Amino acid sequence: MTVGQNQGQGIVFVYLEPAGGWKDTSFPSVSITASDGLAGDDFGAAVAISSTTAVVGAPERTDHGRSGAGGAWVFDEQ
């Protein structure tokens, strides 16, 4: 997904079940992007969730000049 001008940066949408149940859900509760995201990172290609913590992967992230080295971000409910 394109974020700003960054094609393929990626984004994760979080849905929380409303009091009325899932039938009333049509919009995400939260969207998450990498603050340092770049075009082509593919942020959100992998997501792991445990309780209030989410780990989001970007397999195509360039790190220290190594293209496709990948990266992961940890988010915790605050």
- 3-state SS assignment for residue 8: coil
| Amino acid identity at 24 | D
**Residue 53 confidence (pLDDT):** 93
| pTM of this structure | 0.81
Query: What per-residue confidence (pLDDT) applies to 39?
Result: 92
22 by DSSP, 3-state: which? helix
| β partners of residue 71 | 58
pLDDT in tens, 6-64: 899 999 998 888 888 888 777 898 899 998 999 999 999 999 999 989 999 999 998 88
Instruction: Return the pLDDT at 63.
Output: 85
pLDDT at 26: 77
8 Å CB contact between 18 and 27? no
The HSE-up count of residue 44 (CA atoms within 13 Å, CB side) is 17
Cβ–Cβ under 8 Å, residues 49 and 32: no
What is the pLDDT, as a whole number, of residue 68?
Answer: 84
